[in-house]
């Protein structure tokens, strides 16, 4: 995973988005790779992966996986 790999942000309308920051080993959401600098909406239950499995080099880290749980202030 890169030092500045991806960014999670919220738009002014409340949409949560993921952006790949031109990472070397990729940013993935719902098993689809984002292009460099691409934004994609994040939804509750989405799985995000930063990086991919690298088999060369000593001490190479494994991908980082996140499960998205979005909380709202809405009364259900």
Instruction: State CA 5 to chain mean position distance.
Output: 9
φ, ψ of residue 72 in degrees (nearest 5): -125, 165
- pLDDT at 73 > cutoff 80: no
Taking only the tens place, the pLDDT of each residue in 10-56 is 999 989 999 999 888 889 999 999 999 999 999 988 988 887 765 56
Q: So what's the pLDDT on residue 76?
A: 45
Taking only the tens place, the pLDDT of each residue in 55-65 is 566 666 677 77
Cα-based distances in Å from 15 to 24, 49, 52: 26, 19, 26
Model confidence, pTM: 0.71
Q: So what's the pLDDT on residue 11?
A: 92
Query: What's the CA gap between 76 and 53, in Å, rounded?
Result: 40
């Amino acid at each position: 995973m890169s030092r500045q790999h991806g960014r999670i942000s919220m738009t002014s309308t409340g949409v949560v988005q993921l952006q790949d920051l031109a990472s070397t080993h990729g940013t993935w959401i719902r098993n689809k790779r984002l292009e460099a600098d691409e934004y994609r909406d994040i939804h509750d239950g989405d799985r995000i992966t930063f990086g991919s499995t690298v088999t060369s080099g000593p001490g190479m880290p494994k991908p980082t996986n996140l499960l998205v749980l979005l909380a709202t202030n809405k009364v259900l």
